[in-house]
Amino acid sequence: MKNLIVNADDFGRHELINRAVELAFNTGCLKSATLMAGGIAFDDAVALAKKISKLGVGIHFTLANGNPVLPPEDIPSLVTAEGIFHADYITFLKKYFSGKISLAEVRSELAAQLNKVRRAGLNLTHFDSHQHLHHIPGIIEIVLELAAAENIFTMRVADTKIFDGELDSIGKFVGRLGLSSLAKFAAHKAHKKNFATPEHFTGIVAGESVNENFMLKLIENLREGTTEIMLHPGIDNKILQDFCQWEHDFEEELAAVTSPKVLSLLEEKNIAVINFSELRAKL
């Protein structure tokens, strides 16, 4: 059996991302999203998730490139002088591996994010993280413990393929290789604690967008089991690129998962589009 999970990251980060999730669910093959507790459009995303009850919603744990839930003074090692998270995963990892990040503060902040989502009244299907930081040794143990306490036993493993997308720099090669290695480590930890994970992962992790051709090729060559594809869809590139400070083609990813060609091929190949709750149920 071949299953596909199409997941939108950054749900709640901006209303134009939320609107894209809504459109991609109603007219496309997106059935899953992960919610940023510190996003400025969190409340809007929660309202949308309650309206679309069949949308599988997970938590998008965030430790970089976003806003904390706890007061900045409670988590000084995690934030800048402006009270926001460090700019990106590279900055975070440099601090982390030089001993300048407090794991106690990581635990407190991630617990607060999880509590905020729970208080909003959502039943979470799974978890992943912004810029894949849940794969890091020391952090994976924390998120598995927090998730298990909330009976969330499904997670993303971002075991990315080295040659998904352009490979036009040594930095991209090293980054994908490093992520793949960390993902295998995290999967081992998760499986020992009886967490379910998709067998396969795809999506372009180095900034490029998933387009219609990528989706069609993926579907034609989909492997047995469950494959998760990671997306960052949105409406209005100009606004979202300025807001996120990221030259990502949000609109192209939205077009890819609402493409009539993609939807037709999924039906032709008899591929089941599911969310993470159904993945757990299949075990």
Distance CA 142, CA 130 (A): 15
* Geometric angle at alpha carbon 191, from 187 and 196, rounded to 5°: 90
User: E strand or H helix at 251, and its extent?
Assistant: helix 250-257
Report the C-alpha gap between 79 and 92 in whole angstroms: 10
Q: What is the pTM of this model?
A: 0.93
DSSP for 66-125?
Answer: S--SS-GGG-GGGB-TTSSB-SSHHHHHHHHHTT-S-HHHHHHHHHHHHHHHHHTT----
* Angstrom distance (rounded) from CA 170 to CA 167: 8
Each as own residue / partner, the long-range contacts of residues 64-67 (CB below 8 Å, 24 or more positions apart, any chain) are 64/88, 64/89, 64/91, 64/92, 64/130, 64/131, 64/133, 65/89, 65/130, 65/131, 66/13, 66/36, 66/38, 66/39, 66/130, 67/38, 67/39, 67/40
**CB count, 10 Å around CB of 217?**
11
What pLDDT is attached to residue 28? 98
Cα–Cα distance for residue pair 263/261, rounded to 1 Å: 6
Residue among 257, 264, 215, 217 nearest 234 (CA): 257
Give the total number of structural domains in the chain. 1
pLDDT value of position 176:
58
Nearest Cα residue to 229 out of 11, 29, 18? 29
Query: Residue 205 has what pLDDT?
Result: 57
What is the predicted pLDDT for the residue at 279?
Answer: 84
Range of the domain at 213: 2-281
Q: How far apart are CA 271 and CA 117, in angstroms?
A: 31
Q: What is the CATH number of the domain that holds 261?
A: 3.20.20.370
- CA atoms of 162 and 50, how far apart (whole Å): 37
C-alpha separations of 151 from 31, 71, 114, 183, 277 in Å? 21, 27, 12, 22, 12
Half-sphere exposure of 42 (CA within 13 A, CB side): 21
**Backbone φ and ψ of 9, nearest 5°:** -80, 165
Cα 27 from Cα 258, distance rounded (Å): 6
Count of CB atoms within 10 A of residue 282's CB? 13
Q: Which residues pair with 127 in a beta bridge?
A: 59, 155
Distance CA(207)–CA(270), nearest Å, equals: 30
| pLDDT tens, N- to C-terminus, the chain (283 residues) | 899 999 999 999 999 999 999 999 999 999 999 999 999 999 999 999 999 999 999 999 999 999 999 999 999 999 999 999 999 999 999 999 999 999 999 999 999 999 999 999 999 999 999 999 999 999 999 999 999 999 999 999 998 765 554 544 444 444 556 678 899 999 999 999 999 999 999 986 545 689 999 999 999 999 999 999 999 999 999 999 999 999 999 999 999 999 999 999 999 999 999 999 998 765 5
Specify the pLDDT at position 160.
72
**What's the gap between Cα 7 and its chain centre?**
7
**DSSP secondary structure letter of residue 32:** E
Please give the pLDDT value at position 180: 82
| Predicted local confidence at residue 162, as pLDDT | 53
pLDDT at 169: 46
